[in-house]
Structure 1
């Protein structure tokens, strides 16, 4: 599917300079975000008791208290991991939970990391994003991706084929609806006919909430360069890999005539806390060693950095506060 170098709703001004990227109270060179654990029994990590919504809110409040700048939520229906012998474990629904946390913590920066466009109609995604931006008082980041966990697609009868094609079409509806409030598009998978996104949230004059993509392969990098305000490098324990991906992102921007520095660069790492027994590529060690590892991601140019402690409980989150304080000490 051919793409022009510019589409309706494509980003025009860098969101940090424009003031649309959430204000981070810490004024760090690299702000910090927490990936809130909203899966049943911490589905990708340890066997912990089932947490409810208000447990999530309590954890979110603690995260801000110990020094995190922003909160993020994943988007899954279920997770079936080898760690649990392929047993399906549920996840609280992303959009409604994000809206609830945003309402419980007024004005706190919050985002989806990342919402699967193929779970919902593109117009519905734009409407939900606008509504959460209103609820969060203009502090929402719309993180999007094409989905990856095949089991949940098969379980819920969702198409898993041509995911990037579907993602590309969805963007041509979501992006203009979020940025301008209007969209018309006729595609193979999605259509919008004089669709509108009203009422608009608090940032309608500036182009709505920032749009972030999770991407690390060439075609998704190109779509990031065309449509996104921000980019996420996925979970990594090695900053050198993130730097390599940033070079690919720069090349994708140059190929479509976009200034690479205009994209907000984000990434994240898993952290092995006491009791950890399962994570992808976790960072481990002493408090100072973990903080030093975080600095390497700042040094390669990330503006925002997500942390996923494992296990993530109220107790281990308190402990991670020591890592944040060590990070701030430099």
Structure 2
């Protein structure tokens, strides 16, 4: 069986959309011997094509991550009520929020066409499972297709749809949860436990993500049966990450004491540093992705520019306190200590 990720180290750089994962971090991961993923979410097809062309010059296998459109229309009354609730947050920057939801599919069809006409070694999907015909088209073009899952039920559906493998995401992961139904909040579970449970029911190769705060965490995921470990939060403060200055500063600010899963910023569960914005709006935010993402985007952009971390989406996993500054290569070298100690990782 071919391995899902072909790299010297059993480590992969997470596709952190919205800025942190860019060409510099992709190149750094490749040079360090880890498997680089390109974050395709929120990019135009043209911008994604440019990052793919740059990655091809690295001389290693790499992957592209896509957001699967959810195809749900939000409750318009709930959306308008939330927009009205957030208007005082927008007033701080002289912004007016629209009560009408903006919906899009993140250029899904155009990105699929790009990847079938210019195939890459691996395509990973998050937020759901696409039509099996889309999976087959990518495979016919020569790509391995991975589906991100958070439960055995999602894994079984991914297998039925024809996936080559799974990215098992534990709820400790930073940023958006990969849960397929955004109305569901993932059950608390350690990533190694989720890997064992899902592999016992679904005979597909897997890589694990979430809760990676050091070499021991990486080793436990590998020993549970994953063939690779996805690293995200630990890379956010590295030299090559495109993390914004406000986000970087917050990750080392002792005033932030915990992370929480919230829908307050985007209408889909996502783990972030707990802020006053979350405290004010966590309980009232409706499930309405991507409409809420577009609603709060101007507030978040203004907050980031103003250095206002309390109104910014500070995505972070539970291991954010361990995120170091310095070259990304050091993070991969550090985590490789755990990988070297892992025995029989990914073997049946």
State the TM-score bracket (shorter-chain normalisation).
Answer: 0.3 to 0.5
Q: TM-score, normalised by structure 2?
A: 0.44
Q: TM-score, normalised by structure 1?
A: 0.46
